[in-house]
Amino acid sequence: MLKQLKKLDSKFIRNLGWLGGSGAVIRVSRLVTTVVLARFLNDYDYGLAAIVLTVNEFVRVFSRNGIGTRLIQIEEDNLKELTQSAYCLNWFIFIGLFLVQCMAAFVAAGIYQDDRLILPICLMAINLLIIPHGMVQVALIQRENRFKVIALTEMLQISTDNILSFIFAIAGLGMWAIVLPKILVAPIWVYIILKNHSWRPQRRFSTTGWSELLSFGRNILGVELLNTLRSNLDYLIVGRFLSIEALGIYYFAFNAGLGISLGVITSIKSALLPHFCDARSNPEQFEKRYYNSLKTIALIIIPLALLQSSLAPFYVPLVFGEKWIPAIPVLMLICLSAIPRPFADSASQLLLSVNKPQIDLIWNVLFTILFTLALLIGVNWQSNGVALAVLISHLVALPIFTFWTTKYVFKRLKSV
């Protein structure tokens, strides 16, 4: 396998190496933390934490609005004038998101009839006032293919998060063992990003280029909204139609299982867009990079997902405790759903690199409708049915999208 990987594009592999190495450290710390959380938290604590994090994720998705993607993708001649505008636009958006999340805290407390949700959701909103300090810089670092910085930043931030969760769980903080560290580590990300890029905002408010940034980003934001909806829809359905306890078991299974694979998938996705954009001027090299990325994904994600799923009946009771045995079927099914995900992510990044985000948006609308229907059918068979619906919908729909997109893009390029 190593020999095959070495034959692929070296820059892409090097970026994946940094992201993968960082991810390995993160996953080790997360594994240890997950073991401790499983021992010290009950299913209701997990359920409450899942609701808090889900609300936060639904609000934060509006931060993935394509502004950074535009800075990565735009030609060098137009970059300088857009950076200041992007910085100002980010602040305008994040202040609004802070207010929205604080209001959403009361809505969530009403829906789930638990006022304990209000304070943690409002406190997590504070992060939204910290992130804009480094949004432009992180986009420029990605544009420069300096994924070593991204990897080390994520490693330090998330590992600290996991270590704090470990300590707080032992201290008996319950739900707060999951929520509080995410509030405390946000400044780490900003500090390291600012330390590693020289760009600084000017002392002026600029709206120049806002229309361009928003026009480009609206399709990307639409895709991110749908991705976030799909990533959390099963949590919402299990919590609403079954119980918070059932949600706790499902949330544990999802994080103990797919959490590792998703870390790898996210690393791959982060490296793809600048990797593709670098080769756009050379159609032959562009196509070669794309197919090599698919080979890399296959060599990494397929063995990982199969191994983790097949060993779940053995390591879950041994590592996490026998009380989590009911989560094993869910964990196995969710692990297998990881296999087609990074291939579809590659196809999405391919569309972005050739300025076709609207096609990605249309696809995501269709897939979200299909996914929602599958979950609503699956919930009739409890948590296992929901997990099976996740697996089937991904195995059926994502390969179709990947195949169609590949054919569409390269057939279009050859005709041009």
Dump pLDDT digits (tens) for 147-164.
778 778 877 888 888 888
Whole-number pLDDT of residue 397: 94
Q: What's the whole-model pTM score?
A: 0.64
Quote the domain boundaries for residue 148.
Answer: 2-415
Whole-number pLDDT of residue 6: 46
**Does residue 367 carry a pLDDT above 90?**
yes
Whole-number pLDDT of residue 8: 44
Calculate mean pLDDT across residues 30-38. Answer: 65
**Does residue 22 carry a pLDDT above 60?**
no
* Count of domains for the chain: 1
Of 138-147, 171-180, 210-219, 377-386, the poorest mean pLDDT is in 210-219
Q: 3-state secondary structure string, the chain?
A: CHHHHHCCCHHHHHHHHHHHHHHHHHHHHHHHHHHHHHHHCCHHHHHHHHHHHHHHHHHHHHHCCCHHHHHHHCCHHHHHHHHHHHHHHHHHHHHHHHHHHHHHHHHHHHHHCCHHHHHHHHHHHHHHHCHHHHHHHHHHHHHCCCHHHHHHHHHHHHHHHHHHHHHHHHCCCCCHHHHHHHHHCHHHHHHHHHHCCCCCCCCCCCCCCHHHHHHHHHHHHHHHHHHHHHHHHHHHHHHHHCCHHHHHHHHHHHHHHHHHHHHHHHHHHHHHHHHHHCCCCCHHHHHHHHHHHHHHHHHHHHHHHHHHHHHHHHHHHHHHCHHHHHHHHHHHHHHHCCCCHHHHHHHHHHHHHCCCHHHHHHHHHHHHHHHHHHHHHHHHHHHHHHHHHHHHHHHHHHHHHHHHHHHHHHHHHHHC
Q: In the structure, what pLDDT confidence band is assigned to residue 398 with cuts at 50, 70 and 90?
A: very high
Share of the chain above pLDDT 70, in %: 86
Of 8-17, 301-310, 400-409, the poorest mean pLDDT is in 8-17
* Residues whose CB is less than 8 angstroms from the CB of residue 117 and which lie 6 or more positions away in sequence, other chains included: 48, 51, 52, 55, 105, 108, 109
Whole-number pLDDT of residue 103: 94
CB 44, CB 249: distance < 8 Å:
no
Whole-number pLDDT of residue 360: 87
Q: What average pLDDT is seen over the chain?
A: 81
Calculate mean pLDDT across residues 339-368. Answer: 87
Whole-number pLDDT of residue 259: 65
Dump pLDDT digits (tens) for 261-312.
666 666 666 667 777 777 677 778 888 888 888 888 888 888 888 888 888 8
